[in-house]
Structure 1
Amino acid sequence: MNVSSPVHMVGRLLGETAYRSARSNSLSGGHPFSGRFYDVDPVTGFIPSQPLPRLTGEFTLWEDALEDARRVLKLGEDKGEEAQAKRAAGERWRQQLRANSPSMQWPVLDVARLGDKRTIWRRAHYILACLQHFYIHSLPPQPPKTSIIIPKPLAVPLVEVSKKIDLPPILTFADIVLWNWELVNPNEPVSLDNVRFLTLFSGTETEKNFYALSLGAELKGAEMVEIFERFMNLPCLADRSAIATVARDLERLVPIINELSDILQGARSNIDPHIFYWVVRPWWNGSDASRPWVFEGVSPYTSFDLGGASAGQSSVMHALDIFLDVDHGLKQTRQPSPSPENRRADTRFMEKMRRYMPAEHRAYLAQLQTQSLRELVQRTPSLRAPYNAAVEALKKFRDGHIRIGTLYIISQARSIPPASMGGAEAFPQREDRSKGTGGNPVGVLLKAGRDATQRTLLKD
């Protein structure tokens, strides 16, 4: 699927006439830059302020199937007693999607009947993407070079829904974190204490705690939105009061980034590395060359982004990088020069990750790029110290991210699966075990991101 321009995609989602009018007013100075136009809430940031509503009518078929999947499906590689006990029920669940008899097979529902509410289409994507990953990753292990066929009753509506909201037909960070919750008390606002996560593929506390950590980081990151928008709306960057505002906001940014670092390091307290690596993260994996996914009933000439869900798809961290002008793509000449290992990393990784974000959030990031904080700092000596302090805080965050990536992925790649899954018999040997769920080498990418942040510092 070729992802269209996020700005034009937002126009299609909101209605071209209303969108052109609002954007024209914004660009002409009629309205200030506001995250609300891009579905970015001033309090919850990129997280919706309300949970997505359940699907109704004929589409409850999908909702009910997801509830059943949580109950009867285990990873296909799992050789443990519980998985073996559920194997027959799991096969019956999958059979309903691909039975040869039309009377036994799901209907291919017409997604046009979902209506026109964005929240409903997002819910449909979340439900169908979860069903797809439950289906694929609960299959018995397939021989290499075997295509995995996604049955038509699942493949066709997922592709159509994905086209409608301009997301890939696969599980994304938005699905598992931004949209995967309901309120405990509907009368209270979104907070970590007032959300209940809906889909836990593994059913483990480790998975729930990972989602909680990710949601907590998103909520903390939402505090940066006001800073970004205030900068975008400064009428004159050369004005003395504007410079003072930027300096104060850069100082405010440092403790927020430091708290993000603390949240990330908090993973050690309640996210078990061994369980995370072997029991949780395989559910998020996408297609790969050895076992490519094929969408039954969809044109074979259609290409899709199928990398899988990754924390690299978090819009709030991309927004921070854009605000500080971290050059992950090595497009600028900065010192020190990138190392050979930096150059070996995928310099388009962050750009690729944006394709898995909601279209409105991509448009927000694109608009954020239209005004350069770094250029202002370069010509304003008094801003250099607070700017560098914010960059140093982000570098510290990425130093910590390397340690977490090493603990949770690189080190675990050399371990044996839990005995509860059958130990060494559970997973076939593969060479890509230390790659992230997006299919990229974790160590190389994290170090490249840290070094790009280091190069963002401005020298005296």
Structure 2
Amino acid sequence: MRPTTNQAGAQRKRLSFSYPSRNGLFAATTPSTASAINLPPGHFLALPPTHAAPSPPSASSSTHADVPTSAQTVTPYLAASNLAPNTSTTASADFEVDVRTGFLPFDAAVDKLPVEYAVWEEALWAARGEGVVGQGLGLGVDGFKEQVWRKGIDEMPVLSIQSLLSSLPELRRAHVVLTYLLHFYVHSHPTLATPRTTPLPIPASISVPLLAVCPLLGLPPILTYADTVLYNSHPVHPHAAPSFERNPYVKSLVSFTNTPDEAHFYLASTRCELAGVNALSIMRASLDEAFMADSLSLTRLTGYLNDLAAIIDHVGDLILDVRNGCDPAVFYHLIRPWFKGGDSDGPLSAGWAFLGVQEETASGLSSAAEHGSQPSTSQQTTAGEQQQPLKGRKFSGPSAGQSSLIHALDVFLTVDHTPKQQSGTTAEESFMTRMLMYMPAPHRAFLQHLATVPHPIRSLVTVNAAKRPALVAAYDNALEALKRLREKHMRIATLYVIQQARKPPTDELIKMGAIPPPAAETQVLGDGQKHVVLQPTSLSEIIRDEEQVLRRQREEQEEGDEEVRGTGGTALIKFLKMCRDNTANAKLVGQ
């Protein structure tokens, strides 16, 4: 086991929000080059990286992230919230994108916090049933074990994060632990027959330290893709450099169910991220060639784009690999319910209220990440006096849409997912931009940097289209591969969510902790099997399925399928189809 950082004092020597000596993919100034250049005072290259806590929000910074802006520029969305880093210094900042691991941290994830935070680790260990399958907290059952655990969280002391400020890996671990505790606390409450009408209070023992850690990482106070994937994996040899072939990621540190299915689900995404390192390297080399833009550079760029298509296909195949270790029914009925965020009941969700934190702090963290807003509600004391109003925060649970790798491919190839103002902003369109705020702040800065390069690849290909048809074909080839990746993702979403939503959990899954649906929500169809009746909501339009065979017989069922929500709160299939179509529409030659 890798020693904890409290036992390795050498790792706690500085506030490590950046690594100036690291060879980042898009790093600008290194110490050696900086000493050789006499920069004028105040020059942006001489300024330090800024990935620390943001400044307090002002009236002028309250723009909502869903306001439409021009295509291909993520900057307005990042600037819409104080979660965004100070972009005036991104040229000298480390984007936490490593040439060896991409968006995955190169340093092995911390598997235990220092001893002064043992109570957090112990609470998580107890919630997980000491890592034994079936012994953790129950999902929505509210038994004696769950009540005792939640009472312990309610009475747990509020700890300061001061001792964590010298180690970025420990801050990441703190976010992982606190957000898993948050989701255990929320989803071990009894399942209600109807959605909550008042926000669910989150005790100060979780909310106060969590909302102190969040601005230091640029993450919202909820479980994210970074917590389940980027900060939650160990390679075979944690002390050696990770490698897709020689030292792959094989261990997931934290899970809700302790099942190998959940670990495999996380690790499948981890392997996609590691495979994407080659794509990031090609992006860097391509931008170098775009800067030169001579005949030799354009020839090289043609080859790079074809290579990129092959890498994207490989990542897509790794997405399909989730089938080799994660059972769809186990995922849908046992694992996925733990992911749900405060917006899981749709637009009318009551959300979660973070106790012990000033409203300005919570609002500053959530202005661009939240899924809508919720008016404050008052609570009554035992004496009948009115307490300070609670405001429910509506954040989305972890989603593949929070992967910076896929966003980077979109930005590099200029795939436009921005809201179309003339047609009205849909929930699916705003979701794509809102997910930026669920990424670590340095990764958002990386995407912003990538979106504002002076020589974008698409423009270069367009200018040279007449003279270099092979370049156009290579560019479209990369887009076609990205479209195929999205179609593979749709296949997985259909298998793991849409098809499972039609079926109630088996008796075996119920024994393992799955929540049985009310009898009124099931019916026996012509195949003699029980099926869940899917009720469409008013959030999205009903899209007719493209298949022609058995259209009439399946029409009612597929209308319900279109309304099955992803963990990000959108109509899942509609969203994935939108992303696929936007990718296809970006091609320069006929689709």
Say whether the fold is shared (TM-score over 0.5).
Answer: yes
Aligned to 2:580: 450
Q: Contact 1:345–1:444 at 8 Å: present in 2 too?
A: no
User: Aligned to 1:90, which of 141, 146, 151?
Assistant: 146
User: Aligned to 2:238, which of 186, 205, 208?
Assistant: 186
Aligned to 1:120: 170
Letter in 2 for 1:96: G
User: Aligned to 2:358, which of 275, 284, 299?
Assistant: 299
User: Aligned to 2:494, which of 397, 400, 406?
Assistant: 406
User: Aligned to 1:177, which of 194, 218, 229?
Assistant: 229
Q: Aligned partners of 1:427, 1:156: CA distance in 2, in Å?
A: 35
> SS at 2:94's partner residue?
helix
Following superposition, the deviation at residue 331 of structure 1 comes to 5.4
Q: Aligned partners of 2:211, 2:589: CA distance in 1, in Å?
A: 49
Following superposition, the deviation at residue 52 of structure 1 comes to 2.6
Structure 2 unaligned spans of 5+: 1-14, 21-26, 31-42, 48-89, 130-134, 371-394, 522-533, 538-562
CA 1:158–1:236 in structure 2 vs 1: closer, same or farther (change >3 Å)? Answer: closer
Q: Contact 2:315–2:485 at 8 Å: present in 1 too?
A: yes
Aligned to 1:315: 404
Following superposition, the deviation at residue 409 of structure 1 comes to 1.1
CA 1:417–1:191 in structure 2 vs 1: closer, same or farther (change >3 Å)? Answer: farther
Residue identity over aligned pairs, in percent, reads 37
> SS at 2:353's partner residue?
strand
User: Aligned to 1:241, which of 296, 319, 329?
Assistant: 296
Q: Contact 2:419–2:426 at 8 Å: present in 1 too?
A: no
Following superposition, the deviation at residue 235 of structure 1 comes to 7.1
Following superposition, the deviation at residue 427 of structure 1 comes to 4.1
CA 1:299–1:73 in structure 2 vs 1: closer, same or farther (change >3 Å)? Answer: farther
Superposed, which structure 2 residues align to 1:15-414 within 5 Å?
A: 24-25=44-45, 37-53=94-110, 54-71=112-129, 72-77=135-140, 87-98=143-154, 105-142=155-192, 144=195, 145-191=197-243, 193-234=248-289, 236-288=291-343, 289-300=348-359, 302-303=362-363, 304=366, 305=370, 306-329=395-418, 344=426, 346-371=428-453, 372-381=456-465, 382=468, 383-414=471-502
CA 1:404–1:56 in structure 2 vs 1: closer, same or farther (change >3 Å)? Answer: same
> SS at 2:251's partner residue?
strand
> SS at 1:195's partner residue?
strand
* Larger displacement relative to structure 2 (447-456 or 407-416): 407-416
Higher fraction of helix: 1
Letter in 1 for 2:516: A
CA 1:294–1:332 in structure 2 vs 1: closer, same or farther (change >3 Å)? Answer: closer
Following superposition, the deviation at residue 387 of structure 1 comes to 0.3
Following superposition, the deviation at residue 345 of structure 1 comes to 5.4
> SS at 2:227's partner residue?
helix
Structure 1 unaligned spans of 5+: 1-10, 28-32, 79-83, 99-104, 334-339
Following superposition, the deviation at residue 15 of structure 1 comes to 11
> SS at 1:196's partner residue?
strand
Q: Contact 2:233–2:249 at 8 Å: present in 1 too?
A: no
Q: Aligned partners of 2:421, 2:313: CA distance in 1, in Å?
A: 27
Following superposition, the deviation at residue 377 of structure 1 comes to 0.6
Following superposition, the deviation at residue 251 of structure 1 comes to 1.3
Aligned to 1:7: none
Q: Aligned partners of 2:93, 2:283: CA distance in 1, in Å?
A: 13
CA 1:12–1:234 in structure 2 vs 1: closer, same or farther (change >3 Å)? Answer: farther
> SS at 1:156's partner residue?
helix
Q: Aligned partners of 1:401, 1:248: CA distance in 2, in Å?
A: 26
* Greater relative CO, 1 or 2 (CA 8 Å, sep 6+): 1
Q: Aligned partners of 2:460, 2:324: CA distance in 1, in Å?
A: 41
> SS at 1:77's partner residue?
coil
Larger radius of gyration: 2
Letter in 1 for 2:312: I
TM-score by length of 2: 0.66
Q: Aligned partners of 1:244, 1:331: CA distance in 2, in Å?
A: 35
Q: Aligned partners of 1:156, 1:97: CA distance in 2, in Å?
A: 13
Q: Contact 1:232–1:368 at 8 Å: present in 2 too?
A: no
Q: Contact 2:16–2:166 at 8 Å: present in 1 too?
A: no
Q: Give deviations 1:247-301, integer Å, cap 9, x for gaps.
A: 1110111111111121122233332111111111111110024342111112345
* Larger displacement relative to structure 2 (109-118 or 423-432): 423-432
Q: Aligned partners of 1:133, 1:297: CA distance in 2, in Å?
A: 18
Q: Give deviations 1:331-377, integer Å, cap 9, x for gaps.
A: 599xxxxxx9x975521222111100000110011000113111111
Q: Contact 2:273–2:405 at 8 Å: present in 1 too?
A: yes
CA 1:25–1:282 in structure 2 vs 1: closer, same or farther (change >3 Å)? Answer: same
CA 1:346–1:377 in structure 2 vs 1: closer, same or farther (change >3 Å)? Answer: same
> SS at 1:411's partner residue?
helix
Q: Contact 1:237–1:376 at 8 Å: present in 2 too?
A: no
Q: Give deviations 1:92-138, integer Å, cap 9, x for gaps.
A: 2211111xxxxxx2111111232232222111111111111111111
Q: Contact 2:480–2:584 at 8 Å: present in 1 too?
A: yes
Q: Aligned partners of 1:417, 1:35: CA distance in 2, in Å?
A: 52
Q: Aligned partners of 1:347, 1:375: CA distance in 2, in Å?
A: 24
* Larger displacement relative to structure 2 (233-242 or 426-435): 426-435
* Larger displacement relative to structure 2 (225-234 or 318-327): 225-234
Root-mean-square deviation over aligned CA pairs: 3.1
Q: Contact 1:34–1:229 at 8 Å: present in 2 too?
A: no
> SS at 1:378's partner residue?
helix
> SS at 2:428's partner residue?
coil
TM-score by length of 1: 0.84
